[in-house]
Chains A and B, each alone.
Chain A
């Protein structure tokens, strides 16, 4: 509840005739948040470019050193990191594309099509979000043993191809952003439902689908428990490889954080490339909606 008083003191002056001061406060707050968001990552790069002896110094090192590539070589010597990167890209990319497609499809049906049982099915979808993924992990593992998918990427991709969150997210978005008149106009022009989906829904859905795709890619990339259970350290994803490093070399912070920096970097790059576009998409969608 401390947030309440902060809200009062920081936001109110905007209306009390001191817009400049309040703006500065907003920028200051947001900059502080940006700082705290970035510092742990920055610090992991600092540690990753040093050696373990440097960590014992007081004060701790605050700028990167010159040891990064030597540490990277050590990571690649310790775990199959190249393979892990390839696996993670394959798994996260497939899952993101699949979730974007199926969620938009189902979201369109739930948001704009009339059919018997729609409400109950939508409720069921939302209810499935209550089902914690970890709950079914033991039987899911047994299924994967039966399918002989343990240790392979199928075990990660196939169960994650649809997501209740995605369906709900796209339903929410499309029920607001997709004008019913547009669909009716398409119908009058003789469009089939599939035609409507392809020519009307997808263009409207694109900004939200991009956000969903990014979030899905990130969570697939960062998924830890299920890969840990079903994969082997010989054919890992990035997270499994990182946890091998963290668990096996507890006091070797430099090794662990170098792996961390390497595993996070690809995602930061993808995010830096797509993030701007995606956020622009949200804004555009909001202006139109």
Chain B
């Protein structure tokens, strides 16, 4: 259509009134094309790059997971669901699943409550606002590798700062990375330290968009500050909360660097796999060059993420202002 119409117009005699009409029509067409077409052009870069480097690998992972695919062999025989069958009977897989969920809950739940509360404290005129906000984000500036290196030292059994402080209360030297519970707590603290401030800033940005008049009206009505947080702030920033809950869940399911580097560098997450997460289990099999098996784990992890994020989405969306 767009190409045919100007062609026909070009055949018209170039009389002056016709010329100006032609220009008007052309301008109209260009305008139509601009209005109708440019939205697609603007979102296209995202979808193109995402398809190439996000979607395609995802689909291809499924294909690889149906093969016995190692980089050592020249041939990759099709084995159907054999990898998944092996996986479901693999104790290491269920161990990694348990560890991932345990660390996920321990790190995410207190973190988000703390983040909302901190954002709420910051969402008012304060002296040294900037200073507090900058320090809040400071841990997130620190790389995950740095965090693990630092906290491994802090959680060290013999010379660690944390055991030194615990010794004031008569607690003996805790071997943090040896037990299941202690290692999960230590890793969760690393994750919380790194992400609470970041999430608080995201909440704060959303809170600042809440119209001030709502608070003024509520104050006149005598609503306490906690009621205002519950009844105004949280409902108003609900979309942001849903968003943060889901991204945090997804992040928690993919924890890798902390178990990889905590204490001693191990692909197994400690000698007894006491803190091997799913992502680390994938990496362990990737390093073994067992790509088919690693891809099968990846897909199982994806299913878990979709299910858990979906549940969290429903819970967060359905609770009306009563999140806290």
Contact of B57 among A143, A229, A259 (CB under 8 A): A143
* CA–CA, A8 and B49, complex, Å: 47
Chain A residues 4-35 with CB under 8 Å of chain B are 4, 6-8, 11-12, 14-16, 26-27, 29-30, 33-34
Contacts of A197 in B (CB 8 A): 42
Q: Is the C-beta of B3 less than 8 angstroms from some C-beta in chain A?
A: no
From B240, which residue of chain A is reached at the shortest CB distance? A172
Q: A102-B45, A139-B56, A243-B261 are in contact. Are A264 and B113 (CB under 8 A)?
A: no
The 8 A CB mask of A18-56 against B (1 = contact, 0 = none) is: 000000001101100110111011011001000000011
Contacts of A38 in B (CB 8 A): 135, 138
Interface size class of A (residues with CB under 8 A): 35 or more
Contact of A282 among B39, B56, B114, B205 (CB under 8 A): B205
Contacts of A26 in B (CB 8 A): 121, 124, 126
CB distance from B89 to the nearest CB of A (A): 22
Q: Is the C-beta of B43 less than 8 angstroms from some C-beta in chain A?
A: yes
The 8 A CB mask of A212-246 against B (1 = contact, 0 = none) is: 00010010011011000100000000110011001
Which residues of A come within 8 Å of B, CB atoms? 1-4, 6-8, 11-12, 14-16, 26-27, 29-30, 33-34, 36-38, 40-41, 43-44, 47, 55-56, 58-60, 102-103, 105-106, 108-110, 113-115, 118, 121, 124-125, 128-140, 142-143, 158-159, 161-162, 164-165, 167-168, 172, 176-177, 192-194, 197, 208, 211, 215, 218, 221-222, 224-225, 229, 238-239, 242-243, 246-247, 250, 253, 256-257, 259-260, 263-264, 267-268, 271-272, 275-276, 279-280, 282-283, 285-286, 289
Which residues of B come within 8 Å of A, CB atoms? 31, 34-36, 38-40, 42-43, 45-47, 49-50, 53-58, 60-61, 64, 110, 113-114, 116-118, 120-122, 124, 126-127, 129-151, 153-154, 158-159, 161, 164, 193, 197-198, 204-205, 208-209, 219, 222, 224-226, 229, 239-240, 243, 246-247, 250, 253-254, 256-257, 261, 264-265, 279, 282-283, 286, 291, 294-295, 298-299, 301-302, 305-306, 309, 324
